[in-house]
Chain A
């Protein structure tokens, strides 16, 4: 019975200490370093546009989209991708990693 008390007490003490650890540490509180919501939305839009281009390429290559349809669809998509890239760049202060043309040689 007393063994139980000791063990139970140890458990309770241990969890209290563990929960208090962040306050016992010296130094600054950890700040999450993440992009602002606008930059995030722009980044997602950019990735989405690039992914669509990739998919279009792939669908064309595997024959799901005919040549004419591909030509019709690819221009608007490229334009959209380019605009999202520049958006993303201005918002996050980073340069785009690579141009849209280079990006989908990677199908």
Chain B
């Protein structure tokens, strides 16, 4: 069936080209039917991408090694779930997944916007089409998943380190995030080309941005958990270029999510918002370019391919084109309102944006530094974690503080007298928390102590927001506390969902601070019966076992764990030696303490006949990071939940007479 796949991709390319050409002409000359035809082309491109995807998927499931791609990334003995994940395990397949999601999202966007914002769609369709052209062109001409060969008996299989559930969730989730950022970008460009000055593009793409941002954030957490549990070096984020590639667009999208609120409330920052949405999209493309081109060496390094220059070219076109468009529309975007006071909610949002963008640029600088130095000096100079961690503290701590300050300040101009009152409780709680922590010994790390204090401040401020709001609600309409709270949240889902998300970030911060500023690491060689003390734990080596597993020889060191005289159990860190792939994987042993969120992390570096080299890490509060992920999802869900009242109001505003009669 490879010919069908190839044909489907060519059809997709053709449709996309039509969407660009016909769509542009239709928008320019206001041809309603041609515009609808171009929209249909986008919808049809999804069908074509779907056909191509089905072809590849069925080839994988049928183990058709006549497909080079199937041969290279799967094998007969591979469990079915991982055979499916092999779809995105390689370059060509992952590009096809990108195209599938892209056309799928574009279809959804077109169908939804058809009902509510037809005229905005006019110029958005060609932009979407252009992005689809790029990816389908890559798949047709440069990197096709449908190359064939005489079928060998078996395939090369999937790397054992990729055979875990994370491989099923992490890449698709990140793609949903990356590709999702295309939609706001397309609508923003569409609005600009059409010389529109209204906010419809923001209203239409708000949910898209939030959804993409959520997937990107949660996907990264999944990746961090994968690194922590499976790769098992004791950490969860290494500032590797590929990790940074996902972080940068997420930071830009975070800034964008906040700054659109200012545009919505005060009509300011239009230029900034357009720049951010272009930036987020460009960074998403740049991120995937970094991952594929081999231009940077990284732990995740993928070999060089010919695909790099194509991506670079497309990013260049996107950035240059958007910049030209923005410059030409500058008079339309100029704000008529100014910032009234540096002490206002708008101002805190602005500071938040500046910090986020500054941090994003810092990471970008660190990522491209090796490329620049190689070009200028002839040898690449890399920057390591110390650089990134410094700026994480420099920008992250003020950001934490702002999360707490923002909700307490009013729009336009905060009344300074009122400030004293509203700040009293959160400040008090924060100072008290700081003193308690100091007494508990948190002073060993000053940034850690400061971070914890800020976290307490933010949590207090958020709790106060909920409390005060509920009280005000109840004063108006009576009812119970719970009812008041429910109604409060329901009437302003974005704000209170946002507060829950902020709370999740605080949890994340506490987990990160605890496990990095207050962790303990020790390495020691233990003979049988010997013990070592790390933190509160006493570890005793009892011996090693070797067992033949299904596809690997499993060597484990048996280590008894005690704390305060109480026996906690036996941990089994070790290694797996895979027969077929001739590879060794590290199997770290992790013991999570349910009560205090602390992890005892054991790595058996080397198991010998008469001893083991053990690396032990104690990571306080690290499990808060994973819990934060779920709170994050919950908050995002609240913010995303459709609000019928708001939909009606927006329909009235943008729908014209027809909508008025319908509403």
A positions within 8 Å CB-CB of B: 1, 4-5, 7-8, 11-12, 14-15, 18-23, 29-35, 37, 40-41, 43-45, 47-48, 51-52, 55-56, 58-59, 61-66, 68-69, 73, 94, 97, 107
A34 to B199, CA, bound (A): 14
Known contacts A19-B41, A23-B33; A62/B411 CB under 8 A: no
A65 to B412, CA, bound (A): 11
Asked if A20 contacts B37 (CB within 8 A), the reply is yes
Chain A residues with CB under 8 Å of B266's CB are 48
- Closest A residue by C-beta to B119: A32
Asked if B653 contacts A64 (CB within 8 A), the reply is no
- Closest A residue by C-beta to B32: A29
Chain B residues with CB under 8 Å of A44's CB are 198-199, 267, 653
Partner of A63, one of B200, B418, B649, B658: B418
CB distance from B465 to the nearest CB of A (A): 8
Encoded as 1 (CB less than 8 Å from any A CB) or 0, chain B from 619 to 663 comes to: 000000000000000000000000000000100111111101000
Asked if A8 contacts B409 (CB within 8 A), the reply is no
7 of the cross-chain contacts (CB-CB < 8 Å) are A19-B37, A19-B44, A23-B33, A31-B32, A34-B656, A35-B656, A41-B197
Chain B residues with CB under 8 Å of A107's CB are 472, 476
CB distance from B118 to the nearest CB of A (A): 4
Kindly identify, within residues 115 to 160 of chain B, every residue whose CB is under 8 Å from any CB belonging to chain A.
Answer: 117-119
Of the candidate stretches B7-15, B84-92, B277-285, the one touching chain A is B7-15
Known contacts A37-B197, A48-B267, A61-B472; A22/B37 CB under 8 A: yes
CB distance from B238 to the nearest CB of A (A): 42
Asked if A51 contacts B657 (CB within 8 A), the reply is no
Asked if A18 contacts B418 (CB within 8 A), the reply is no
Partner of A29, one of B33, B264, B411, B415: B33
17 additional A-B residue pairs with CB within 8 Å, beyond A22-B33, A41-B198: A4-B1, A5-B3, A7-B4, A15-B47, A33-B656, A35-B654, A40-B653, A41-B197, A51-B265, A52-B265, A55-B410, A59-B411, A62-B468, A62-B472, A64-B422, A66-B418, A107-B476
Report if B196 contacts A (CB, 8 A).
yes
A23 to B119, CA, bound (A): 19
> Chain B contact residues: over half helix, strand or loop, or mixed?
helix
B positions within 8 Å CB-CB of A: 1, 3-4, 7-8, 11, 15, 18, 31-34, 36-37, 40-41, 43-44, 47-48, 51, 117-119, 196-200, 264-267, 408-415, 417-418, 421-422, 465, 468-469, 471-472, 475-476, 649, 652-658, 660
- Closest A residue by C-beta to B1: A4
Partner of B32, one of A8, A30, A73: A30
A2 to B5, CA, bound (A): 14
Asked if B660 contacts A94 (CB within 8 A), the reply is yes
A15 to B43, CA, bound (A): 9
Asked if B36 contacts A22 (CB within 8 A), the reply is yes
Chain B residues with CB under 8 Å of A45's CB are 267
Asked if A61 contacts B475 (CB within 8 A), the reply is yes
Chain A residues with CB under 8 Å of B198's CB are 37, 40-41, 44
Partner of B15, one of A8, A19, A21, A48: A19
A44 to B11, CA, bound (A): 42
Chain B residues with CB under 8 Å of A29's CB are 31-33, 36
A31 to B1, CA, bound (A): 43
A30 to B35, CA, bound (A): 10
Chain A residues with CB under 8 Å of B48's CB are 11, 15
Known contacts A18-B43, A23-B33, A59-B410; A66/B415 CB under 8 A: yes
Chain A residues with CB under 8 Å of B415's CB are 64-66, 68-69
Asked if B7 contacts A8 (CB within 8 A), the reply is yes
CB distance from A45 to the nearest CB of B (A): 8
Chain A residues with CB under 8 Å of B468's CB are 62-63
A28 to B418, CA, bound (A): 60
- Closest B residue by C-beta to A31: B32
Asked if B8 contacts A8 (CB within 8 A), the reply is yes
- Closest B residue by C-beta to A36: B656
A31 to B229, CA, bound (A): 56
A11 to B48, CA, bound (A): 8
Asked if A47 contacts B7 (CB within 8 A), the reply is no
- Residue with the highest number of chain A CB atoms closer than 10 Å, among B36, B41, B413, B418: B418
- Closest B residue by C-beta to A5: B3
Known contacts A18-B43, A40-B198, A44-B199; A55/B411 CB under 8 A: yes
CB distance from B124 to the nearest CB of A (A): 13
Asked if B414 contacts A64 (CB within 8 A), the reply is yes
CB distance from B533 to the nearest CB of A (A): 52
A8 to B6, CA, bound (A): 9
Chain B residues with CB under 8 Å of A12's CB are 7, 11
CB distance from B41 to the nearest CB of A (A): 5
A43 to B40, CA, bound (A): 31
Chain A residues with CB under 8 Å of B44's CB are 14-15, 18-19
CB distance from B506 to the nearest CB of A (A): 21
Asked if A66 contacts B654 (CB within 8 A), the reply is no
CB distance from A26 to the nearest CB of B (A): 11
A48 to B265, CA, bound (A): 6
Chain B residues with CB under 8 Å of A68's CB are 415, 417
- Residue with the highest number of chain A CB atoms closer than 10 Å, among B1, B199, B469, B653: B653
Asked if A32 contacts B118 (CB within 8 A), the reply is yes
A32 to B113, CA, bound (A): 12
Asked if B8 contacts A11 (CB within 8 A), the reply is yes
A34 to B112, CA, bound (A): 16
Asked if A30 contacts B36 (CB within 8 A), the reply is yes
CB distance from B592 to the nearest CB of A (A): 39
CB distance from A87 to the nearest CB of B (A): 14
Asked if A64 contacts B32 (CB within 8 A), the reply is no
A62 to B475, CA, bound (A): 10
Chain A residues with CB under 8 Å of B34's CB are 22
A61 to B414, CA, bound (A): 15
Chain A residues with CB under 8 Å of B655's CB are 34
A89 to B131, CA, bound (A): 41
Asked if A19 contacts B653 (CB within 8 A), the reply is no
Chain B residues with CB under 8 Å of A8's CB are 3-4, 7-8
Known contacts A4-B1, A34-B118; A73/B472 CB under 8 A: no
- Closest B residue by C-beta to A47: B653
Asked if A64 contacts B472 (CB within 8 A), the reply is no
A30 to B33, CA, bound (A): 7
Chain A residues with CB under 8 Å of B472's CB are 58, 61-62, 107
A47 to B98, CA, bound (A): 38
Known contacts A15-B15, A15-B48, A37-B196; A64/B418 CB under 8 A: yes
Partner of B417, one of A32, A69, A73: A69
- Closest B residue by C-beta to A12: B11
A72 to B1, CA, bound (A): 74
- Closest A residue by C-beta to B464: A62
